[in-house]
Amino acid sequence: MNGLALAYIGDAYYELEVRKHLIDTGFTSVNILHNKAINYTSSKAQAEIIEYLINSNLLSEEEMHAFKRGRNNSSTGRKNVDAKTYVLATGFESLIGYLYINNKNRLREIMDISFKFIEKGEDGYLIGTALEIKGCHSQGKNMEELLANMREAIGLCLEVQGESDPYIKEIVGIQKVAV
């Protein structure tokens, strides 16, 4: 199968897994789901994931070959994406398509690594967002620090808003836990 066909399959599978992942973490609003999904599925995000996988030597020779098959078949960018980012993203999708066909256990590992990479942020910090409070974000080196920082950020955001937002009824924490 050629690289672009692998990328076609990889794109569909990756999008579905991102959607399932976001729903599994507790998001239910379609608008929020869409906005969160972009953090995972944009060409920029996919290019950053594949660069991380390559720079961390996490891919086998066979997986690198699958990445290159997709990467070498696409040479132009899209309207809002430069050619290099688009080529890397297409190569990432090709890798996902290849693993979907050939090694679902390894695919699950790559998906988990990809999700953790996106959720950690560029500097390795965990990132938190109070979705119902506009502009309320924080970060932490670990979950304990993130939760403490989020409590403080939520308090400050509510104070600035005058605690008058009628949509804020209670604050519920959502965490994904591996068993």
> Could you list the active site residues?
11
Backbone angles phi, psi at 8, to 5 degrees: -60, -45
Cβ-contact 67, 100 below 8 angstroms: no
Cβ-contact 105, 22 below 8 angstroms: no
Two structure tokens written together for 26: 């507790």
